[in-house]
Amino acid sequence: MTTERNRAKARAMILTAPRVATLALVGLLIAALMVHKAMAQESDGIIRSHGYSFYGDLSYPADYPHFNYVNPEAPKGGEISLYAPGTFDSMNPYSRKGRAGRLSWMVYESLLGEMPAGGGPAPADAYGESYGLLAESLEYDAGKTWVIFHMRPEARFADGTPVTAHDVVFSHNLFLEQGLPSYAQAVSRRVTGAEALDDHTVKFTFAEGISRRSLIDQVGGTPVFPRKWYEENAARLDEPRLEAAPGSGPYQVESVDVNRSITYKRNPDYWGWDLPINQGRHNFDRIRIEYFADDSAAFEAFKAGEYTFRSEGNSKKWATGYDFPAANAGHVKLDELPDGTPPTPTGFVFNLARDKFKDERVRKAVALAYNFEWTNESLQYGLFKQRHSFVQDTPIEAMGPPEGAELEFLKSLGDVIPPEMLTEPAVRAHESRASRLNDRRNLRKAMKLLDEAGWTVGDDGIRRNAQGETLSIDFPIPSSGSATLGAVVESFVSNLQLMGIDARYENVDPSQYTLRNRDRDYDMVFDNYTTFLGTGTGLLQRYGSSEAAFSLFNPAGLASPMVDAIINASLAAETREEERVALTALDRALRFERFMVPVWYNDSYWVAYWDMYEHPETLPPYALGVLDFWWYNAEKAEALKASGALR
């Protein structure tokens, strides 16, 4: 079959797919089931709208007063403080060098609005939708070959300079010329032109013969920088600097103390306070980031009130660490809040550029050294679940062998799909005994696989191949990480050593660790990939072959023709059902490739905070929203200070 015939057949098969059984996330994944619905207006083949979704349906009408989940009467004021590990040496978040200060990208805005905590487009209760921020409206042709954004003339950068279409074009070109190579290559292939039609109208044109996915939302979500400031200061996007270019957002940098703290101040003269998209949001007067050498020092500082909000990821601390006076007195509040997003695909990632990992048997054997059950019970207080899927606990998680529309879809892709993937159940993480770290049954399986792969044990107990090369694994971890992570890696390495692998882990300072990550200077690394609920060309940047050799979003360097074919087919999907089937197949394929040893996940947010912050009673599914729609209770804060609990 030709490629076009394969795609046509896949589309026909997908259209027959049965609907997934009702799950809590289904109504959120499928925007057509939203209670509120507003269709973009079309006339003369031109679609005009106040927001954007690929299928044209929007949850909020043009005259929406605010997002449903916010408190529009939330008080403004107060400070919230968080911590960051390690060090920083730049306030330019897009530099290829150095370590950027936390939240340094937050001062900038885009044509289509986003959540300030990096959680993706706003709103947080509808997946795949975005609404005008710097742009008050947009129009595009039915074929999505171009888009025109009509900008708000009142928009200003923090220095009072108007935000214009010329700044938008400048920013787009700056990313292409000085941004990350993987980003620049991907975008330049898809976006063929950016033109300021006048001071407040900007047009983008797109390449022909490509998917229409991630085009309008890509250019609509690009941060907008002040061209005037960049030109006057001869600044570059790819170089670190401590002076931040003024942004147009509600927060701007107030102070920077290198390696110690950063404070962002809410701009009282922010141009967009009255916009519906901003009602009930951006409520704190200040957001302060405190830096600490490691998590242990940071936790002690939290107990002393040196910072006031902590998102906890350490199970030991969550289980035992919050037994201190302020928490026992009720001054510090502990919450487990629901998280409706798929858990981040985190785990031990193989560097597939290493020859030793090109043999799947070696990767299978190494994976068997990880004992989730023992780790969870002995080191993590039984608080986690084993992750199996890249879209765990969602309607698009692959379950069992493929069947129905998914099976026909996979068959339509031809020889690129291994025959066994058509008949075998989706790959799941192995089971281990919780009673002992070195599950002998799994270690025997692993050692047999290594023997079959030609890595045999010598007299010194170390495995070597026929060329006499040692099977070694170098595993760097950041010194600023938690002690629990160190213990988990140590136990994993211990089992690898029992198998005859010359495995070692190394604590590396944060700056060196960042550099090694960028250069892929590791055999394995504890890292993550981005999860997904919808398709888009970003999937190719994260999981595809074209940028695999250098993409920072693909730490394994995964380059799989099968994965490429499935992503490309998903990009050609014309209905939500087609998309769902293709993404289920993608989850199945990613697990089949075994480029990561999956670890644990938590389906809730663990948060601890000094009891002076509040949030809406019902949180949206796609964001915790601490820096977005929480607020400060001045009376509670004064009570804490009056009691002596806080200074």
pLDDT 10s digits, 151-209: 999 999 999 999 999 999 999 999 999 998 878 888 999 999 999 999 999 999 999 99
What integer best gives the mean pLDDT of the chain? 91
Encoding tokens for residue 598? 């999956």
**Taking phi first (over 0 means left), then psi (-120 to 50 degrees means alpha), and beta for anything else, what does residue 382 get?**
left
d(CA 272, CA 269): 9
Q: If you compute the radius of gyration of the chain from its CA atoms, what whole number of angstroms results?
A: 25
Q: Is the pLDDT of residue 30 over 80?
A: no
d(CA 185, CA 348): 28
CB of 135 closer than 8 Å to CB of 151:
yes
**Residue found under tokens 């110690």:** 260
pLDDT digits (tens, 9 = 90+) for 525-555: 999 999 999 998 889 989 999 889 988 899 9
Buried b (16+ CB within 10 A) or exposed e, 356-395: bbebebbbbbbbbbbbbbbbbebbbeebbebbbbbbbbbb
Place 390 in a pLDDT band, splitting at 50, 70 and 90: very high
Place 38 in a pLDDT band, splitting at 50, 70 and 90: low
CATH class name, domain 43-233: alpha beta
Residue spans of the domains in the chain: they are: 1-33+400-426+534-597, 43-233, 251-267+281-338+608-643, 346-388+428-528
Report the relative pairing of strands 472-478 and 502-508 from DSSP bridges: parallel
d(CA 115, CA 188): 26
Backbone φ and ψ of 333, nearest 5°: -100, 140
d(CA 646, CA 304): 8
Residue type, 468: G
**CB count in 10 Å sphere of residue 23:** 13
Share of the chain above pLDDT 90, in %: 83
Burial class of residue 234 in the structure, from the number of CB atoms within 10 Å of its CB (0-12 exposed, 13-18 middle, 19+ buried): exposed
Mean pLDDT for 616-626 is 93
Same topology between domain 43-233 and domain 251-267+281-338+608-643: yes
Is the peptide bond prior to 342 cis by the omega test (within 30 degrees of 0)? no
**CB count in 10 Å sphere of residue 142:** 12
d(CA 165, CA 151): 7
Residues 6+ apart with CB under 8 A from 490: 505
Mean pLDDT for 293-302 is 94
d(CA 501, CA 126): 47
pLDDT digits (tens, 9 = 90+) for 133-162: 999 999 999 999 999 999 999 999 999 999
Mean pLDDT for 215-236 is 96
Mean pLDDT for 616-621 is 94
d(CA 190, CA 143): 14
Place 24 in a pLDDT band, splitting at 50, 70 and 90: very low
pLDDT digits (tens, 9 = 90+) for 342-386: 999 999 999 999 999 999 999 999 999 999 999 999 999 999 999
pLDDT digits (tens, 9 = 90+) for 54-96: 988 899 999 999 999 999 999 999 999 999 999 999 999 998 8
pLDDT digits (tens, 9 = 90+) for 307-322: 999 999 899 999 999 9
d(CA 513, CA 110): 31
pLDDT digits (tens, 9 = 90+) for 509-525: 988 998 999 899 999 99
Backbone φ and ψ of 270, nearest 5°: -55, 135
d(CA 310, CA 375): 24
Go through the chain and tell me how many residues it has: 647
Q: Is the pLDDT of residue 22 over 60?
A: no
d(CA 428, CA 398): 10
Mean pLDDT for 22-51 is 57
Encoding tokens for residue 185? 């290559």
The pLDDT assigned to 311 comes to 96
**Higher-pLDDT residue of 404, 32:** 404
Place 120 in a pLDDT band, splitting at 50, 70 and 90: low
The pLDDT assigned to 600 comes to 97
The pLDDT assigned to 121 comes to 63
Q: Is the pLDDT of residue 294 over 70?
A: yes
The pLDDT assigned to 9 comes to 39
Residue type, 437: L
* CATH superfamily of domain region 251-267+281-338+608-643: Periplasmic binding protein-like II (3.40.190.10)
Q: Is the pLDDT of residue 29 over 60?
A: no
d(CA 429, CA 89): 39
The pLDDT assigned to 552 comes to 87
Closest CA to 347 of 380, 370, 316: 370
Q: Partners of 263 in the beta sheet? A: 255, 288
The pLDDT assigned to 426 comes to 98
Burial class of residue 454 in the structure, from the number of CB atoms within 10 Å of its CB (0-12 exposed, 13-18 middle, 19+ buried): middle
Closest CA to 267 of 281, 249, 240: 249
Q: What SS3 state is found at 51?
A: strand
**Residue found under tokens 């980031």:** 289
Place 6 in a pLDDT band, splitting at 50, 70 and 90: very low
Encoding tokens for residue 585? 């197949």
Place 440 in a pLDDT band, splitting at 50, 70 and 90: very high
pLDDT digits (tens, 9 = 90+) for 452-483: 999 999 999 999 999 999 999 999 999 888 88
**Taking phi first (over 0 means left), then psi (-120 to 50 degrees means alpha), and beta for anything else, what does residue 556 get?**
alpha
Is the peptide bond prior to 401 cis by the omega test (within 30 degrees of 0)? no
The pLDDT assigned to 117 comes to 53
Closest CA to 396 of 129, 28, 118: 28
**Domain 346-388+428-528, CATH:** 3.10.105.10
Residue type, 172: H
Mean pLDDT for 398-423 is 97
The pLDDT assigned to 185 comes to 85
Share of the chain above pLDDT 70, in %: 92
Place 495 in a pLDDT band, splitting at 50, 70 and 90: very high
CB of 266 closer than 8 Å to CB of 282:
yes
Instruction: Summarize the chain as % helix, strand, coil (round to 5).
Output: 30, 20, 50
Give Cα separations from 370 to 205, 350, 452, 589 (angstroms): 49, 14, 20, 22
The pLDDT assigned to 15 comes to 35
- Residue 50 is given by DSSP the state S
